[in-house]
Amino acid sequence: MDVPTRVPPQPGDTRVPLDGGGLTLPALIRLADGTAVPAVDPGALERVGRAHETADRLAATGRWYGRGTGVGAHRSVAVDPAEETAHGLRLLRSHAGGAGPLLPARTVRAMLAIRANQLLAGGSGIHPSFVTALADALRLGVHPAVNEYGGVGTGDLTALAQTGLTLLGERPWLTPEDAPSSPAELPAGGALGEERPPAGAGALGAVGVGAVGAGAEQVTLAADLTGTVDGVHVGEARPLGVGAGAGDGDRTAGGLPAPVTLRAGDALALLSSNALALAQAALAGHGTELLLRATHVVAALSLAAVSGSPEAYAAPVHALRPYPGPARAAAEVRRLLGLPDDPATDAANGPRATDRRIQDPYGFRAFPQVHGAALDASAALRRIVETEINCPSENPVLSPEGHLYHHGGFFAAPLALALDGLNLALLKTAQLSAARLSALSRPDLTGLPAFLATGPAGSSGTMILEYTANSALAELRAGAAAPASAGHAVLSHGLEEAAGFAGQAARQTERARAAYATVLACELVSAVRALRLHPEPPALSALTLAAAVLPTGLEDRPLTGDIETATELLPRLAEL
């Protein structure tokens, strides 16, 4: 299920510290899943406050992109200092132009956690109340409505503008029950023909906390666009239940984050991040990591089912070519099957055994090399994600010494390239999984009936699993053949003449992950059946676990349920 349970603030909750520098991928996943709540480090929050004061001083002495100027092609258009707050509000409103389905709660929660932690790094100059409000939303189990489309890998402007307007009180908060469990479940603006609320009313088709239902009263305050008085919630439209007098850091009686005061410079400071693409990459990458670990177990069961040679997994082989991933893949298979590190020195498993094939098909023999490359690609993605979620990405950025720099650190090329690389590596290991699945159907490799069929002559057994696996494999191939980072865009009158497309790459990774899970599940169903038919099945904990939950019937029957059960089992196998 992709929707976390709501997490009210309770003593004793698992807490994840946010300090702008120490957030790990597993901790981020706990925040996204709602199994932990954030604990903002007071020292880091003070750092944000000092940076905000520095930003005010620097902005008063010179031009600051997006604060004293327009943005994009309007970078040279000066903004009246008296209009800077109103300019920021217009920036949020004009950039909240996302489209497509609403994103799942889990994805948006990850985005909120990432943005809060990035802001705590102290490079943005934003007011600390925004960090507090983001953390409050995570603790209270609410999130903004965010659409799928809008970012191109140079900052998730639309998603963070929608978030900013929600923080100000102009848009409603959603609970996990309001949000879709997958991006395709809910349309962006409600059902076709459904009455839409007026602009600024705060309801976006999906009724959220504070949104106005039928017959409900709405309190709307007149917009103050002068931006001349700090402490005024600029241009807000408060849904019913949001307290008009709540100050920064307070929470309303209804359990919602209080609307935040917008100040000069806050808008672009909030927008300047790839937090959504990073959230999608983190979730897809974490799910892929689990599948890659489970693959060791499934491949080991298949190797046992065909009585494969241990030589391809021998430690001396991988010491000669010391790549971390292949060495790890080989070591995991040896561990799971109880194989010696060096079969050449083991009398029972040495190369003189007369009943062993000289060498196995690639699905078994090249598994460490191919799967190891996927492990390395996954590790590379994790390093990039954990770097990006723990450093300031804002343009302009404040250094710890208080200097201001305009730069291109928001360009998400490293993230997009890592995702594209993982997608291609995942395709390669999925191809070997499909190859092992085919091998399990061959009597010359298993010594068992063709397609592991039992019963009358002509029974099909597991034949259809090859078709299902290759159907899913085609999805992987389609994504890998069109890497997102190969895309190109020229935007804002040609000033922004390239784009990273990290968000698109992350969505491709998530689709690839889901397709790979199907391929691997098909192999698992076949491997367990083969070992059940084996005259002397090995005593393996993985086989015991899988055989306990997979259906036992060997007659010709629908296998959809087997595939679904095997798919659900993969995360458990990853922990063996």
Q: How far apart are CA 436 and CA 397, in angstroms?
A: 51
CB atoms within 10 A of CB 458: 7
Structure tokens at 509: 């990774």
Count of beta carbons in the 10 Å neighbourhood of residue 466: 17
The closest alpha carbon to 188, from 279, 107, 98, 94, belongs to 98
Cis peptide bond N-terminal to 396, omega within 30: yes
How do beta strands 15-18 and 37-40 pair? parallel
- At residue 398, what are phi and psi to the nearest 5 degrees? -95, 130
d(CA 181, CA 202): 22
Q: How far apart are alpha carbons 115 and 163 in whole angstroms?
A: 10
- Identify the segments of the chain with pLDDT beneath 70: 1-13, 63, 66, 70-76, 153, 179-254, 347-355, 488-499
Which residues on adjacent β-strands are paired with residue 257?
251
What are the phi and psi torsion angles at 477 (to 5°)?
-65, -40
Closest residue by Cα to residue 93 from 199, 251, 206, 248: 199
Q: What is the pLDDT of residue 565?
A: 97
pLDDT score recorded for residue 215: 29
What is the torsional sign of CA 195, 199, 205, 209?
Answer: negative
- Per the CB < 8 A criterion, the answer to whether 275 and 153 are in contact is no
Angle between the N-to-C axes of helices 275-305 and 25-33, in degrees from 0 to 180, rounded to the nearest 10: 100
pLDDT at res. 72: 63
Name the amino acid, one letter, at 469: A
- Rounded to an integer, what distance in angstroms lies between the CA atom of residue 317 and that of residue 319? 6
What is the number of residues in the chain? Answer: 576
CA gap 436, 527 in Å, rounded: 9
Q: What is the DSSP string of 124-151?
A: S---HHHHHHHHHHHHHT-EE--EEE--
Cα–Cα distance, 518 to 35 (Å, whole number): 27
Q: What is the pTM of this model?
A: 0.85
- The DSSP H or E segment spanning 572 is helix 560-573
Closest CA to 143 of 171, 99, 108, 180: 108
- Cα–Cα distance for residue pair 535/265, rounded to 1 Å: 73
Q: Which residues contact 508 (CB under 8 A, 6 or more apart)?
A: 419, 420, 423, 479, 484
Q: 354: burial class by Cβ within 10 Å (0-12, 13-18, 19+)?
A: exposed
CA distance readout (Å), 350 to 5, 303, 338: 53, 17, 14
Residues ≥6 apart with Cβ < 8 Å to 226:
82, 85, 86
At 30 the pLDDT is 97
Identify each DSSP E strand in 269-401 by its residue range: 397-398
Show the domains of the chain with their CATH numbers: 17-190+199-273 (1.10.275.10), 278-395+410-573 (1.20.200.10)
DSSP 228-264: -STTS-TT--PPTTS-TTPPTT-B-TTS-BPPPPP-T
